[in-house]
Amino acid sequence: MNLPEELLYSKDHEWIKKEGNNVRIGITEFAQDELGDIVFIELPEVDDEVSGDEPFGSVESVKTVSELYAPVGGKVVEVNEELEDNPEYVNESPYEKAWMVVVELSDESELDELLTAEQYKAFIEQD
């Protein structure tokens, strides 16, 4: 299982990459493997506010829909428009080509709640 050390992870199986005051978000290799072939992705728009309470989008495989919950709150500053036409990127390249959104952090301390690669690995193994 590929879990890049430099990323943070959520218990909802998202990865989070800190880029200054922003974070880039996608779903983990484990998540895409559980979902199977991804065929449809719904993402928010630039300037939308996201928070952990409301789904900001969804990822659909052949069989199921999985809602995306923001691991941190903030304003969407960038959306990966290419994913809409190429949902298979999530399966092929979950950490690179399949980043989903960039969010401007409203509260940096929320990052403290996230897991390290090692903690996430332990989390999925006990699951």
Partner 1 sequence: MSNLKRTPIFSEYEKYGAKTIDFGGWDLPVQFSSIKHEHEVTRTKAGLFDVSHMGEIIVKGPKSLAFLQQMTTNDVAKLSPKRIQYTFMCYPDGGTVDDFVVYMIDEEEYLLVVNAANTDKDYEWLVKNNHYSDAEVTIDNVSKDYAQLALQGPLSEEILQNLTDTNLSEIKFFRFENVALSSIDKPAIVSRTGYTGEDGFEIYIDPSAGPELWNLLLETGKEKGLEPIGLGARDTLRFESNLALYGQELSKDISPIEAGLGFAVKINKQADFIGKQVLQNQVGNGPNRKLVGIEMIDKGIPRHGYAVLKDQEEIGYITSGTQSPTLEKNLGLAMIQTEFAEEGTELTIQVRKRELRAVVVKTPFYKRQK
Output 39 or 111, the one with its CB closest to partner 1.
39
Output 92 or 108, the one with its CB closest to partner 1.
92
CB of 7 to partner 1, least distance (A): 25
CA distances from 83 to 51, 55, 88, 99 (A): 21, 18, 8, 8
For 113, residues 6+ apart whose C-beta sits below 8 A from its C-beta are: none
Contact 111, 103 (CB under 8 A): no
Output 60 or 78, the one with its CB closest to partner 1.
60
Contact 14, 50 (CB under 8 A): no
Output 40 or 77, the one with its CB closest to partner 1.
40
For 96, residues 6+ apart whose C-beta sits below 8 A from its C-beta are: none
CB of 39 to partner 1, least distance (A): 4
CB of 65 to partner 1, least distance (A): 6
| Contact residues for partner 1, defined by CB under 8 A | 36-37, 39-40, 42, 58, 60-63, 65, 84, 91
